[in-house]
Amino acid sequence: MDDWRGRISDDLERMVDRAVAAGARQEDVFAEVAKVIEHRKSVTDPNRKLADTTPEIVVDEPANNWPAADK
């Protein structure tokens, strides 16, 4: 196994153990890890279109109804 793969496996095992020791169910921890991984994959997908994930930003024009605006 590659060194980085072994570290990921070891880190994941420690993370799951900590969560279970804190009271979480192992199945719930695995489900949450899977959700986080799926989210990270969608965020880092190089083929995604920026327009598909960027919310529409509405910029309101500033109001000119302040006291010194007439001067």
For residue 17, name the pLDDT band (cuts at 50, 70, 90).
very high
Q: Which residue has the higher pLDDT, 31 or 68?
A: 31
The reported pLDDT for the residue numbered 43 is 81
pTM, to two decimals: 0.56
Cα(23)–Cα(21) distance, integer angstroms: 5
How far the first Cα of the chain sits from its last, in Å, is: 73
β strands within 1-71, DSSP E: none
d(CA 68, CA 22): 59
Residue that has been written with the tokens 């598909």 in this structure: 52
DSSP conformation class of 34: H
